[in-house]
Amino acid sequence: MKNIGEYAFCESCITFNNIPESVTNIGRYAFSGCTSLTTITIPENSQLTSIGDGAFHDCRNLTSIVLSKNIMSIGSSAFSNCSKLTTINIPEGVTNIEDSTFTTCTSLTSINIPDSVTSIGSSAFYGCSNLSSINIPDSVTKINSRAFRGCSSLTSINIPENVTSIDSYAFENCNNLTTVYISSIEAWCNIDFGSPSANPLYYVNNLYINGELVTEFVIPNSVTAIKGYAFCGCKSLTSITIPESVTKIGSSAFSSCTGELIINCNIPASSSYSSGAFYNSHFSKVSIGNNVTSIGSYAFYNCSSLTNITLSENVTSIGNEAFRSCDNLTDITLPEGVKIIGSEAFYYCSSLTTISIPESVTNIGYGAFSGCERLTSITIPENITSINNNTFRDCSNIVAITIPSGVTSIDNYAFSGCSNLSSITSKAITPPYVSATNTFNNVDKSIPVYVPAESVDAYKAANVWKDFTNIQPIE
């Protein structure tokens, strides 16, 4: 006998446990559902080279199987749902662990992957809830989606430096992981992680590099790009330093990281809030180095633990929603060189009490300070010519505003909800065009509005401005 055909003994009551030496191939689902099988031995001198897809799928009473050294391939789902299988050897000739090969082998406690293996398939060990030990060899370059999903007994994992891709959910629900071992920071930064839970750091507290526990993490100058989710969830680090050499930081690369962040490179813009470099991170302090000139869109979106940030004097632009929802940020000083404050850049920074906008600023995007409810004062630079919609909306504790002489227009809801305003000063000789009555919603229309003496009548006649009943000349 050379072949055991497809479905040959599928769901039968067969009980034999020795595969003849002459067999070279076990076909697809040949023994699938044979619940009477408890052990299988493939002789050392067997000619068997191939085990087909699902060959032993759902052999729920199979406790052990010994594979011969000549086996070169093991098909997808070959041992899936063998829920009593406690141990198995993978022969040296196998190059790929296929999809779902050991899915829900819930009694499997350890497995050694040989150096011949280059990839671990999707859901290969999915649901192996008692798997507590696994060694991934240096030969592996790719770990596919859900490969170790639900391996809830895993406490540590090593990721070889040749791995370049770990797909979505590869380590999802590995809730007891505490330690990740890596050997190369450069290689780690270059891994394409498909999702936060593709990265085992998402769950762990300890990162070891070459056997040494790391708490103060300095990325070397040899690194030029940090891929998405690279350090997502790594809560053991007390500080992270990013060098000037880095030109690209991927989506949520540092999400949920804690401690202090020191940045010496420009922070690239992102296309959406969830792809921001530091989106949802928990840094309490951020220092921006002198080499940094721009802070990209969504960079620190929803960094709710951030209380203090120091910007370098060379920063010239702050991107859209760069600090949106940093609701514990109390203070920030913008350097003199800043020219652009992006739309919603400080949207709902609800703990921000003061901010000084330098005279160098020429554009403040819409909603830039909307929802900064504790902001009590703000100075609008003289170079500003228009105040965009929602710019100071719901800044309910601002008591006074001064509109520069060059402002020609004020858009919808710009000061809506500034309910504690006690005075407005407009230096513009020609009343700025106000696009709608909602611009000053919930602002007391009896507060004094101070304007140039020669323009009092013009303001009293201008749309929206005329709704204010106490327009006076600037003294």
In sequence order, what DSSP letters do the residues of 85-134 get, joined into one string? --EEPPPTT--EE-TTTTTT-TT--EEE--TT--EE-TTTTTT-TT--EE
Give 88 or 75, the one with higher predicted confidence: 75
What confidence tens digit (pLDDT) does each residue in 360-413 have?
999 999 999 999 999 988 889 999 999 999 999 999 999 999 999 999 999 999
Query: Binning pLDDT at 50, 70 and 90, where does residue 441 land?
Result: very high
pLDDT of amino acid 126 = 98
Q: What are phi and psi of 253, to 5 degrees?
A: -60, -30
Distance CA 260, CA 307 (A): 11
Is pLDDT of 15 > 80?
no
**For the chain, what is the mean pLDDT?**
92
What's CA 92's distance to the chain center, in Å?
37
**Torsion-angle region of residue 390: left (phi > 0), alpha (psi -120 to 50) or beta?**
left
pLDDT of amino acid 252 = 86
Q: What are phi and psi of 459, to 5 degrees?
A: -65, -40
Instruction: Name 54's Cβ contacts closer than 8 Å, sequence gap at least 6.
Output: 28, 29, 32, 75, 76, 77, 78, 80
pLDDT of amino acid 273 = 61
- The stretch 414-426 carries a mean pLDDT of 97
3-state SS assignment for residue 456? helix
Cβ pair 61, 39 in contact under 8 A: no
What confidence tens digit (pLDDT) does each residue in 127-179 have?
999 999 898 999 999 999 999 999 999 999 999 999 999 999 999 999 999 88
The token pair at 78 is 């070959």
- Name the DSSP class of 222: T
Query: Binning pLDDT at 50, 70 and 90, where does residue 271 land?
Result: low
Distance CA 218, CA 434 (A): 51
pLDDT of amino acid 270 = 72
The token pair at 87 is 């141990």
pLDDT of amino acid 274 = 63
**What percentage of the chain carries pLDDT values higher than 70?**
99
Give 454 or 208, the one with higher predicted confidence: 454
Domains, the chain, ranges and CATH? 1-94 (3.80.10.10)
Is pLDDT of 331 > 90?
no
Cβ pair 290, 316 in contact under 8 A: no
Give 282 or 166, the one with higher predicted confidence: 166
